[in-house]
Structure 1
Amino acid sequence: MSKSRGRSNWNNKNNRIETIDNSIVSKAIRVFLVTLFVVLGSGVLILCIIADRKGLLGGKPTKNTEKVNSLSPQWETIPEADKFYIAGNDAGKDPEEGAGGEKTIPEIPEEDKDYTHIIQTLDDNVVTIGFAGDILFDDNYAAGNAFKKHGNSAVGVIGDSLLGKMINADIMMVNNEFPYSYGGSPCEGKTFTFRARPESAAILNTMGVDIVGLANNHAYDYGQQALIDTMSALDSVGVEYVGAGHNIDEASHTVYYVTESGMKIAIICATQIERLSNPDTKEATATSAGVFRCLDDTLLLERIREAREKNAYVIVYIHWGTESTSEIDYLQRDQAAEIADAGANLIIGNHPHVLQKIDYVNGVPVVYSLGNFMFNSKTLDSCLVLASLHSDGTVNLQFVPAIQSDCTVTEATGGEAQRIIGYMNSMSSTAVIDGNGYISRR
């Protein structure tokens, strides 16, 4: 074989090798691009699912509309209020219907959009709002440590029937009596200062909580930065807050919930506690974070009137009263009347850490104190209050008796339930709770 023939064969071989190499590289590139596309697509899908569950795609998450089994009697029909629809709807009318007869959500005024949530209710014609009292997740204290021992979950800490009612509520609210933070310094000279780990805010999700009140005398226990951290922690788990903010406009803001049937609920939260000229718990200002204080209730009454002008059912969740006594004080009594006259439809109080009476003030139901819900290891009577708003304008209130004991809280039944209801009735002059917990005027 000549050198020229050998060189020719060698060149042909090189050409074939180069062709094969190019084919392999081309195929590898195609495989890489397909794999990259699949991975990126899967990642985007996963991120969308997570964002949707956390409420990052269009506001706060809505609750699962599948009911949790619990013992909950049918609501009675006790007329208490007119119909409450979003501004622009006349009382007595159904929300506007689309061409196919489907209900359409009324337009939300631009100024309300930051704090307005469209909610899907378990019943198209009823929205149920649950209220519980003081909670504490600081695991340096018995109550907070109980949640920690149960895997940062309410299961095993809150009794099944009570927890079922909380999860079934379309809107569930508690008093968040502490900040979530790793930073800050305790208020100097304050006897009790609380602080929970930011990740413990996720416990609220296991409780079915949608919104917390921050207008209280412990939200500022570790200063301004810890309060700011608290708001961030709540945002991270999709729980709304009211009664505190980065400035007074935020702190005094009203949170609105609008149902798919068009009912509109407004929640306002404020505190009159630490009745001092220089309280530990700082009031929000035009330029600094703090809570919404209402010892001077001028701004509170203004917010109530604004909400009523928007045809909302107005709930005021207020921190007031004197600790460890069932007796209401004069500031509760006087302010309840002012709040009612300003247009509130329901007043829910906390701070005393014990139950106080339920009464009607100028026609408005007032629950003066919900008491502790899950705050310490003491044995104390407690409750869950459920407000049910019907599209025909009726409002039902139910008092669910409960007992906090040994770092758990459970629904009271049988003789214990009747004892607590009897105790509440003994304090109330204008309201009565029947054997099933339904509240009406005497």
Structure 2
Amino acid sequence: MGKRDRNNYNDYDDYYDYKNSSGGYLVRKAFIVFLLTLAVIFCIGIPILLIANNRQNGPIENPIDYSFAGKWEKIPEADKIEEPVITLDENDKVEIVIPDEDVDYTQVISTLDDSCVTIGFAGDILFDDNYAVGNAFKNHGNSAVGVVGDSLLNRMKTVDIMMVNNEFPYSSGGIPTEGKTYTFRARPETANILNDMGVDIVGLANNHAYDYGNQALLDTFDILDSTGIKYVGAGHNIDEASHTVYYVTESGMKIAIICATQIERITNPDTKEATADSAGVFRCLDDSLLLQRIREAKEKNAYVIVFVHWGTESTTEIDYLQRDQAAEFASAGANLIIGGHPHVLQKIDYVGNVPVVYSLGNYIFNSKTLDTCMVIATLHNDGAVNLQFIPAIQSDCRVNEAFGSEAQRIIGDMNAMSSNALIDSNGYISHK
């Protein structure tokens, strides 16, 4: 058999049959088949399994059955916080020590999942029935059902801590601020809608909490207290208004929520600032006290959330004060910054490793058709954190979670304006 015959394709197998007639060829052929089979498994089988698994954990069509914490391990791009310092007592149970100055501002809570705590945030709400959206709540029997969509209500009630921006006082008294275009005030009984919505804490540091003056603000404190709703960002004096509200889980995790406003950027605003001996809101146009509160909470080993009223209304563009103060908050020790006031969504960004949601937009505030959202933070007891953006639409005095193409449109719009953050198709937020 010449060289030409051995290089002929048709004679290739015959040549190796001849060279391995002693049986070595069969062993080699079996080994080659084994390697080819193994390659097929790795190249085809494993990707099929991954695709199937991805479908199983893909976009949630029925959010009512969705467990926020249950999907965590499949989100690899999360940020980390320092592992919490947990002290055990003599029975190996978590020992929760609350400093004397924080006793009146601390809630010890149980969580749906012992390994994590979930915190939900939504934007502006309005219960004043002199306006269309407030009247919608009234027409539904002072209930959120029929005004807030079922899937959003379920999410609000399922998270361990739910927070919204309460853009009005609760009172039957007071006098509207003279010369102010829009003044809001809700009937005291409407505060029960907060419980119906699953709300645990409201931010009062905004430019409408003082719309009906000092008495209406004082009434608001009493009504929220009697309804079982915590408030932050306003108080009977500056110490109370600026004081951090703490949540401590039974597993020992500590969450700090600080709320302030820098809107009405003038020296004598309509919305009065709390002082040493007078009620008002916590203002942070000069943010020195806010930075001090952030540092204090950080020193107490808390996950520090700053809920701030800032920005320019009706624009998706952030302004210079938002940009500058976000950097200051992050430098002081904030772990998460959540913003409101513009009434529209603004970008999500990162300052270093600190996520900044510049504006949550309206949640259920008027009859306009606007994109909006919930944001859910899940803090795990190993120090891991994940954030999820839940797209929604406010329209015709209702707010509903967005699904399918509408959800992807909203996420796409948010990605287009968010240069340093990426929101995936399930709404999970990560640093680019």
Tell me the equivalent position of 1:291.
281
In 1: Cα distance, 2:223 partner to 2:332 partner: 33
In 1: Cα distance, 2:230 partner to 2:275 partner: 21
Checking the alignment, whether the CA contact within 8 Å between 1:95 and 1:261 is kept in structure 2 is: no
User: Match for 2:103 among 82, 98, 113?
Assistant: 113
Write out aligned runs for 1:212-361 (5 A). 212-361=202-351
Give the Å deviation of 1:77.
Answer: 4.4
Checking the alignment, whether the CA contact within 8 Å between 1:77 and 1:394 is kept in structure 2 is: no
Checking the alignment, whether the CA contact within 8 Å between 2:83 and 2:382 is kept in structure 1 is: no
In 2: Cα distance, 1:125 partner to 1:97 partner: 19
- State the Cα deviation string for residues 316-336 of structure 1 (Å, max 9, x = none): 000000000000000000000
In 2: Cα distance, 1:83 partner to 1:394 partner: 9
In 2: Cα distance, 1:78 partner to 1:258 partner: 26
Tell me the equivalent position of 1:439.
429
- What amino acid is the match of 1:167? K
* Local SS of the residue matching 2:231: strand
Tell me the equivalent position of 1:5.
none
Identity of aligned residues (%): 75
Q: Which runs of 5+ in 2 are unaligned?
A: 1-62
Tell me the equivalent position of 2:369.
379
Write out aligned runs for 1:13-92 (5 A). 69-72=64-67, 74-75=71-72, 76-83=75-82, 85=84, 89=85
Tell me the equivalent position of 2:39.
none
1:176 and 2:173 aligned: no
TM-score (norm 2): 0.83
Tell me the equivalent position of 1:14.
none
Change (3 A) 1:311 1:283: same
Give the Å deviation of 1:98.
Answer: 4.5
1:96 and 2:88 aligned: yes
1:421 and 2:411 aligned: yes
In 1: Cα distance, 2:218 partner to 2:83 partner: 34
* Local SS of the residue matching 1:294: coil
Checking the alignment, whether the CA contact within 8 Å between 1:172 and 1:211 is kept in structure 2 is: yes
In 2: Cα distance, 1:273 partner to 1:341 partner: 22
In 1: Cα distance, 2:338 partner to 2:308 partner: 6
In 2: Cα distance, 1:341 partner to 1:84 partner: 19
Tell me the equivalent position of 1:41.
none
Tell me the equivalent position of 2:42.
none
Change (3 A) 1:342 1:109: same
* Local SS of the residue matching 1:349: strand
Paired residue total: 366
Give the Å deviation of 1:81.
Answer: 2.6
1:158 and 2:157 aligned: no
* Local SS of the residue matching 2:217: helix
Change (3 A) 1:398 1:159: same
Q: Which runs of 5+ in 1 are unaligned?
A: 1-67
Checking the alignment, whether the CA contact within 8 Å between 1:77 and 1:395 is kept in structure 2 is: no
1:190 and 2:189 aligned: no
TM-score (norm 1): 0.81
Checking the alignment, whether the CA contact within 8 Å between 2:78 and 2:430 is kept in structure 1 is: no
Checking the alignment, whether the CA contact within 8 Å between 2:316 and 2:347 is kept in structure 1 is: yes
Checking the alignment, whether the CA contact within 8 Å between 1:244 and 1:252 is kept in structure 2 is: yes
Checking the alignment, whether the CA contact within 8 Å between 1:79 and 1:393 is kept in structure 2 is: no
User: Match for 1:201 among 191, 194, 203?
Assistant: 191
- Aligned-pair Cα RMSD in Å: 1.2
* Local SS of the residue matching 1:225: helix
Tell me the equivalent position of 1:127.
117
In 2: Cα distance, 1:245 partner to 1:406 partner: 34
- State the Cα deviation string for residues 91-143 of structure 1 (Å, max 9, x = none): xxx541553x4x32321111111100000000001100000000000001111
In 2: Cα distance, 1:157 partner to 1:298 partner: 40
Checking the alignment, whether the CA contact within 8 Å between 1:72 and 1:165 is kept in structure 2 is: no
Give the Å deviation of 1:151.
Answer: 1.0
* Local SS of the residue matching 2:276: coil
Checking the alignment, whether the CA contact within 8 Å between 2:338 and 2:360 is kept in structure 1 is: yes
* Local SS of the residue matching 1:258: strand
In 2: Cα distance, 1:364 partner to 1:199 partner: 38
* Local SS of the residue matching 1:230: helix
* Local SS of the residue matching 2:79: coil
Tell me the equivalent position of 1:59.
none
Checking the alignment, whether the CA contact within 8 Å between 1:388 and 1:397 is kept in structure 2 is: yes
Tell me the equivalent position of 1:406.
396
Tell me the equivalent position of 1:141.
131
Checking the alignment, whether the CA contact within 8 Å between 1:146 and 1:407 is kept in structure 2 is: yes
Give the Å deviation of 1:353.
Answer: 0.1
Tell me the equivalent position of 1:58.
none
In 1: Cα distance, 2:382 partner to 2:67 partner: 21
- State the Cα deviation string for residues 336-394 of structure 1 (Å, max 9, x = none): 00000000000000000000000001220000000000000100000000000000100
Tell me the equivalent position of 1:391.
381
In 1: Cα distance, 2:123 partner to 2:65 partner: 20
Checking the alignment, whether the CA contact within 8 Å between 1:84 and 1:313 is kept in structure 2 is: no
Give the Å deviation of 1:420.
Answer: 0.2
- What amino acid is the match of 1:209? V
